[in-house]
Structure 1
Amino acid sequence: MTEATKIPVLAVVGPTASGKTAAGVMLSQCYHGEVVSADSMQIYEGLDIATAKPTPEEMCGIPHHLIGCVPMDANFSVADYLALAKPVIADIHRRGKLPVLVGGAGMYVSSLLSNVQLAPTRQDARLRAEFQQYAAAHGNEALHQKLAQLDPEAAAAIHPNNLVRVVRALEVCILTGKTFTACKAESRIIPSPYHSLQIGLMYEDRQVLYDRIDRRVDEMVRAGMVEEAHAVYQNEALRTAYHAIGYKELIPYFENTMPLGECLDKIKQESRRYAKRQLTWFRKNPDIQWIILSKFDKKQEILEKCKKTIANSDLLCYNIS
């Protein structure tokens, strides 16, 4: 694929509650786009309120893809996301529309736009259980040391307390006979079919973002988040939902071991921590063009800032205007 034939993709990324949904819709309206979600929890059906799925009113008639399309009890990986997202983007482009990638799942965004080649996830439940049991018995640091022995580079990049990634890296090492680092390098050999512009939304004052998060949690509660979470809690088969912020923190309330107010405070705290982790991830990406938002930015002002960034790029050369 030559540079001239690459598919243009506009991405809107950033931490939770930064206004990505509204920006993605407004930009889609301006540039004849359709939204492709890059959210690791909104993709599940039934997980609506706590994952902040956009409502029909918020979508403003703009088609949204990869939202609520995976069963709640299904395991879903980055490879699975790529398998769904690539044909959707190709179809949007084929119809003369602009794919607008919107979300805060940094691994989804970077893997897609970099054209990371991942085979459907090969897993070994027994092996994973052994690693998890070892960490429980000896500590996360001890398991992380096992990874350091097999793949020092991967161990240096993965925090010992990120147990999910440590276990996955070890699993890849054992199952493939290669280091996790080598497998990642091999996955990036094929050039990307996309010409992308990534716009990041970030508040100048971090406290403004945290206040937005707190208000959004309060709005979710009024919209029925507690009731939604209780329905999930009652179905033991829906363990996937327990990974989403807003569900697992309410379990103590449902089990009568913690007051509701404390659980909601925990949701706000975990949401703020998640936003901080997202910012840390995205800031490592030199390709992101940041829009620094202030406390007083209005939607139209944010739109104009985004349009200026687009005008200063070469994305419009790809016949999307």
Structure 2
Amino acid sequence: MLAVVGPTATGKTALGVALAEAFEGEVISADSMQIYKGLDVGTAKVAPDETHGVPHHAVDILEPDELFSVADFVTLAGTLEADISARGRLPILVGGTGLYVQSFLYGVRFAAEKTPDGLREQLAAELAEKGPEAMYKELQAADPEAAAAIHPNNQVRVLRALEHFRATGKRLSEQKAQSLPPERPYRSLVLGLDFPDRTQLYRRIDLRVDKMLDAGLLDEAKLVYDHRQTYRTAAQAIGYKEFFPYFEGTAPLDACTEKLKQASRNYAKRQLTWFRHMDGVVWLDASAPDVTARAVQLTQEFLAKG
């Protein structure tokens, strides 16, 4: 099993395709938003001409109003990995959703838990009364590690973490540590992409946002805004919610665009923090001219060990 991880705008998609071409592989997307149909621009889905004929799985399989959990991803990715391997091809996990990658590769077990009746509604009422800042502060007090991995504005994930804590009396981070098996289910090589010069990464992120706007991001964001009551996951996602004030007439487009760039840079920092804490990641300089050749060499050595 091969994986390509790292923050946004580091070239994970292109490297995944190159490795798939070199080793007869197929890509499994580890992106929590690319799973949804129609949200192509804001989620930076690989374009058909960029796949070079390499099959990409776990992309465009759900409607935007459907929910998809980490446990759902682990189940789906496991099925895909088994199918790809059975056909004699190399499964390549590619994406920046750290919780997906770690849960799948490290074999996190998800215990079934029943939410007490009325708890979810109670939390929603508290959110409406107190506001997102107060709810995030409560999460920081209850589970600092989980709070550090969640953006304060991601109300869905904040409420889920609080829901788990109130329902079980345990921290999400505590459950994750307890649910790790003694041995990982997959023998894997995990390649991480990063730019040693942080300003170079941020410039790439800013340029990417500009290109997304040229490609129709605003129309996509308006679609999410118009369906925000049912597209709840997308309505909380970076790339869409930043434009809601523009649609409401409370902020100019330039300000919303700059807000998206800043949010994307902050997200990249959180991604790096997550992947830097993962064991066994082999980091590559994404700006190096020979980054693909180096990745191919490492993969050859990994596969040769059988």
Counterpart check, 1:193 vs 2:185: yes
61, 66, 69: which one pairs with 2:58? 66
Amino acid corresponding to residue 139 of structure 1 in structure 2: A
- 1:88: Cα distance to partner? 0.6
Q: How far apart, CA to CA, are the structure 1 residues paired with 2:117 and 2:286?
A: 44
Q: Does 1:202 align with 2:194?
A: yes
Do the aligned residues in 1 keep the contact of 2:106 with 2:181 (CA within 8 Å)? Answer: no
Q: Residues 145 and 53 from structure 1, CA distance in 2 versus in 1: closer, same or farther, beyond 3 angstroms?
A: closer
Assess if the C-alpha contact under 8 Å between 1:124 and 1:171 holds in 2.
no
After superposition, the CA RMSD in angstroms is 2.5
**2:2/2:189 contact within 8 Å kept:** yes
Aligned equivalents of 2:213, 2:70: Cα separation in 1:
30
Query: Against the structure 1 CA distance between its residues 250 and 142, is the aligned structure 2 distance closer, same or farther, given a 3 Å change threshold?
Result: closer
The answer on 1:10 being equivalent to 2:5 is: no
Q: Give the residue type in structure 2 aligned to 1:110.
A: Q
Shift of 1:166: 5.5
Q: Which residue of structure 1 aligns with residue 304 of structure 2?
A: 316
Q: Which residue of 2 aligns with 1:286?
A: 279
Contact 2:29–2:58, Cα closer than 8 Å, also in 1? yes
- What's the counterpart of residue 250 of structure 1? 243
> Any idea what SS the aligned residue of 2:305 has?
helix
Q: Which amino acid letter does the alignment assign opposite residue 307 of structure 1?
A: V
| Other-structure match for 1:91 | 83
Unpaired stretches in structure 1, ≥5 consecutive residues:
1-8, 148-153
Residue in structure 2 matched with residue 144 of structure 1 by the alignment? 139
Measure, in 1, the Cα distance between the counterparts of 2:173 and 2:202: 35
2:292 to 287, 303, 307: 303
Paired with 1:194 and 1:265, the residues of 2 have a C-alpha distance of 41
Whether 1:26 and 2:43 are equivalent positions in the alignment is: no
Distance 2:158 2:247 in 1: 31
Structure 2: distance between partners of 1:106 and 1:289 = 15
Structure 2 unmatched runs, 5+: none
Identity of aligned residues (%): 46
The 1:125/1:223 distance shift into structure 2, 3 A limit, reads farther
User: Over residues 107-145 of structure 1, what are the superposed CA-to-partner deviations in whole Å (9 max), with x where a residue is unaligned?
Assistant: 000000011111467545832343455462692476237
Retained in 2: the 8 A contact 1:12–1:100?
A: yes
Partner of residue 234 from structure 1, selected from 218, 226, 244? 226
* 2:109 equivalent to 1:117: yes
Which residue of 2 is the match for residue 5 of structure 1? none
Contact 1:213 1:268 in 2 (8 A): yes
1:156, CA displacement in angstroms?
A: 5.1
SS in 2 for 1:46: coil
Distance in 2, Cα, partners of 1:260 & 1:120: 44
Count of residue pairs the alignment pairs up: 299
Shift of 1:146: 6.2
Return the offset for 1:234: 1.8
SS of 2:92's partner is strand
Q: Secondary structure at the match of 2:190?
A: strand
Within the candidate set 34, 41, 45, 2:37 is matched to 45
**Residues 125 and 213 of structure 1: CA distance in aligned 2, closer, same or farther (over 3 Å):** farther
Distance 2:157 2:223 in 1: 29
- Residues 116 and 316 of structure 1: CA distance in aligned 2, closer, same or farther (over 3 Å): same
TM-score by length of 1: 0.84
Letter of the 2:297 counterpart: K
Distance 1:145 1:61, change over 3 A: closer
The correspondence of residues 165-184 of structure 1 with structure 2, limited to 5 A, is 167-176=159-168, 180=172, 183-184=175-176
Name the residue aligned to 2:98. 106
Equivalent in the alignment of 2:69: 77
Structure 1 pair 157/81, CA: closer, same or farther in 2 (3 Å)?
A: closer
Match of residue 225 from structure 1? 217
